[in-house]
């Protein structure tokens, strides 16, 4: 990076991620400039059907870094502050925000930082500065800071699903989001936790991070589940794999009076057949969750800061931007990787 330019990862598709240069963003009044020290790849970053519509673009939204420039009128932050920055922020005044549905807010859906978290520096717009910048505790590393946003999304999902101590939980899909769900459910006092995946590597990871038992996703999960859960199906089923099969499997695995949380969903054109009569007779709740609200982010920071959850052991790869394509391929391939981080300042 020269004085006026910086390195970024430009996303074209999952097989075409290029190291490019862009001008360092110029900030205006009410804005800040953040030097990114760590940036995580989210599973949504490799959802090609979702991302390719706006390509080429700089992705990345799980960042932690250091404020290096402060615009006029900013008095809550100073140069040198270590921060996590939320890319999406709600207005906090619309109908949806006032009724607790912050992630349905149009403002949240339209806000972001410039250009994206896979850049050496990002401009934080005024609205994000006002309600989306959080000072990292002194003992929280930049790496830990990259888990605030993904953990907050999981916090929201389990909060809306009303997970209670002692509830049995089935997590379908043991990628990074599934593993965080397992870890948080364990921290919150869940009873029996069972996980599935197609990867033996990730099944082992599920056991490491809190699952009591695992099943290969190719098995008849609904038939085997009672053998692992005291003769019962699961009180809460969390779908963390974005395909049709996990969604239909989930509907067969939920206990009477239980809940299915669709944390991941299939592509838009895929319709999930729902056995409505069976669910009606058994008072099963189907629900979704998307993103995180400011409250969820605060809870996530407290969970990480108190070490109630410890997620940095999930980091399997720390890469430079020169290894950008490899990072995307690791996550998209769902092989022997869990959390992949970029270190934008390292060459």
334 or 173, greater pLDDT: 173
Q: Is the pTM of this model over 0.75?
A: yes
Looking at the structure, tell me whether residues 81 and 50 fall in a common domain.
Answer: yes
Residue 1 has pLDDT above 80, yes or no: no
Note whether 315 and 41 are within 8 A (CB). Answer: no
Question: What are the tokens at 187?
Answer: 């921290």
- CATH number reported for the structural domain that contains residue 277 in this entry: 3.40.50.720
Q: Is residue 157 part of a domain?
A: no
pLDDT digits (tens, 9 = 90+) for 97-136: 999 999 999 999 999 999 999 999 999 999 999 999 999 9
Q: Is residue 313 part of a domain?
A: yes
Residue 148 has pLDDT above 60, yes or no: yes
Residue 164 has pLDDT above 90, yes or no: yes
Name the DSSP class of 270: P
Q: Is residue 347 part of a domain?
A: no
pLDDT bucket at 2, cuts 50 / 70 / 90: very low
Looking at the structure, tell me whether residues 104 and 214 fall in a common domain.
Answer: no
Looking at the structure, tell me whether residues 21 and 84 fall in a common domain.
Answer: yes
Looking at the structure, tell me whether residues 64 and 123 fall in a common domain.
Answer: yes
pLDDT digits (tens, 9 = 90+) for 284-294: 999 999 999 99
Mean pLDDT of 269-282: 95
Structural domains of the chain, count: 2
Give the whole-number percent of the chain exceeding pLDDT 90.
96
The span from the CA of 291 to the CA of 262, in Å, is: 12
Indicate the Cα dihedral angle 279, 284, 288, 293, nearest 10°: 160
Looking at the structure, tell me whether residues 111 and 62 fall in a common domain.
Answer: yes
Looking at the structure, tell me whether residues 172 and 282 fall in a common domain.
Answer: yes
Nearest residue to 214 via CA among 230, 199, 233, 232: 199
- With a CB cutoff of 8 Å and minimum separation 6, the contacts of 276 are none
Looking at the structure, tell me whether residues 229 and 320 fall in a common domain.
Answer: no
Mean pLDDT of 258-273: 95
Looking at the structure, tell me whether residues 207 and 277 fall in a common domain.
Answer: yes
pLDDT digits (tens, 9 = 90+) for 206-224: 999 999 999 999 999 999 9
CA distances from 337 to 197, 234, 289, 332 (A): 14, 28, 25, 10
Domain that holds residue 215: 162-288
Give the whole-number percent of the chain exceeding pLDDT 70.
99
Mean pLDDT of 9-35: 97
Mean pLDDT of 54-80: 97
pLDDT bucket at 347, cuts 50 / 70 / 90: confident
Domain boundary among the residues 243, 271, 288 is at: 288
61 or 53, greater pLDDT: 61
Tell me, what's the pLDDT at 3? Answer: 64
């Amino acid at each position: 990076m020269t004085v006026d330019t910086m390195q970024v990862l430009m996303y074209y598709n999952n097989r075409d991620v290029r190291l490019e240069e862009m001008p360092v963003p110029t900030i205006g009044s009410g804005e800040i400039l953040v030097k990114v020290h760590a940036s995580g790849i989210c599973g949504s970053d490799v959802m090609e059907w979702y991302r390719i519509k706006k390509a080429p673009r700089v992705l990345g939204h799980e960042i932690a870094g250091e404020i290096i420039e402060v615009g006029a009128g900013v008095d809550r932050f100073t140069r040198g502050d270590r921060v996590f920055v939320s890319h999406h922020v709600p207005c906090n005044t619309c109908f949806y925000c006032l009724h607790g549905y912050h992630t349905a807010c149009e403002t949240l859906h339209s806000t972001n930082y410039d250009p994206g978290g896979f850049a050496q520096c990002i401009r934080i717009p005024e609205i994000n500065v006002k309600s989306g910048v959080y000072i990292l505790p002194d003992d929280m590393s930049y790496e830990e800071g990259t888990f605030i946003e993904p953990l907050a999304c999981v916090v929201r999902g389990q909060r809306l699903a009303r997970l209670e101590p002692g509830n049995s939980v089935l997590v379908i899909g043991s990628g990074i989001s599934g593993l965080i769900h397992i870890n948080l459910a364990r921290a919150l006092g869940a009873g029996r936790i069972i996980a599935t995946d197609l990867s033996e590597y990730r099944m082992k990871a599920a056991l490491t991070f809190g699952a009591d038992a695992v099943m290969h996703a190719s098995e008849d999960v609904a038939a085997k589940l009672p053998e692992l859960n005291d003769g019962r199906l699961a009180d809460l089923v969390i779908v963390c794999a974005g395909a049709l099969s996990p969604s239909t499997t989930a509907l067969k695995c939920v206990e009477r009076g239980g809940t299915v949380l669709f944390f991941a969903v299939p592509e838009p054109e895929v319709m999930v057949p729902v056995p409505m009569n069976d669910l009606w007779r058994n008072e099963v709740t189907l629900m979704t969750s998307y993103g995180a609200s400011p409250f969820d982010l605060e809870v996530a920071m407290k969970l990480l800061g108190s070490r109630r959850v410890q997620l940095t052991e999930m980091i399997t790869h720390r890469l430079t931007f020169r290894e950008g394509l490899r990072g995307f391929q690791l996550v998209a391939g769902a092989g022997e990787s869990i959390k992949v981080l970029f270190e934008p300042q390292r060459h």
